[in-house]
Amino acid sequence: SSRPPAPQAAFAHLALAFSCDMFTLRQRVEVEKRARDVAEENIQEELGQCRAALERLGLSCAAPDGRDTLERLQRNLAVLAAAIERATSAAEKLGAVHQEARMSRAAEVMVQHVENLKRHHVREHAELEDMKRLIQQNSRNRQLAETQDDAEPRLRPHPLLRNFQQVSARRRVSIAVVPKQLLVRARVEG
């Protein structure tokens, strides 16, 4: 048995993967949403604790330099919170882009497989048409030969022609293609 062509094997693999993915997709989406929500809640909890600590520190800090430092820390904390939001959004977009890339590759493999199937179909169709043409030509040649045999007196067939006819008769399907030179020689020698 021969190995299937690479696109066909890849197509079969992708079809199986898609079936498996569709079976578990809803569950995986729910799991990932929960994980994301928990991570965001943890980050917000940590940020809240930092804000609360800064407020407590602000109440106990009476020096003007300490207040400036405290305000900078609060601004930094706000910037950090915004950066976390952007990072979360960027991570989701990156995940979507990765999924799009996988889907694009899968679609490319499927298109390639379909193109291979089309080429295979065209090639087989051309071969079928050639065989039809040869069979029709053979049928016409045989009819012509039978007509000529009926019209001409029986000649002793050439040994090669007789041998060819015997081999052809043994076959279930035969395409008798006898070169004209052989037929002419058989008539001349006969």
The answer to whether the CB of 149 falls within 8 A of the CB of 187 is no
DSSP 157: P
Does any domain span residue 177?
Answer: no
158 pLDDT higher than 80 = no
CA distance 118 to 115: 5
Does any domain span residue 62?
Answer: yes
- Kindly state the percentage of the chain with pLDDT values over 70: 75
Give the chain's domain count.
Answer: 1
In sequence order, what are the residues at sequence separation of 6 or more whose Cβ sits closer than 8 angstroms to the Cβ of residue 127? none
Print the domain residue range for 101: 6-134
Three-state DSSP state, 179: coil
Does any domain span residue 60?
Answer: yes
In sequence order, what are the residues at sequence separation of 6 or more whose Cβ sits closer than 8 angstroms to the Cβ of residue 135? 175
Does any domain span residue 41?
Answer: yes
Could you list the beta-strand ranges (E) of the chain: none
DSSP 82: H
CA distance 113 to 94: 29
Question: Lowest-pLDDT range, 39-53, 57-71, 86-100, 168-182?
Answer: 168-182
Does any domain span residue 168?
Answer: no
Give the position of tokens 């298109």. 111
> pLDDT averaged over the chain?
79
Instruction: Determine the average pLDDT of the residues in 71-84.
Output: 90
Which pLDDT score, from 0 to 100, does residue 29 have? 84
Phi then psi for residue 156, to 5 deg, are -70, 120
Does any domain span residue 55?
Answer: yes
Does any domain span residue 155?
Answer: no
Does any domain span residue 187?
Answer: no
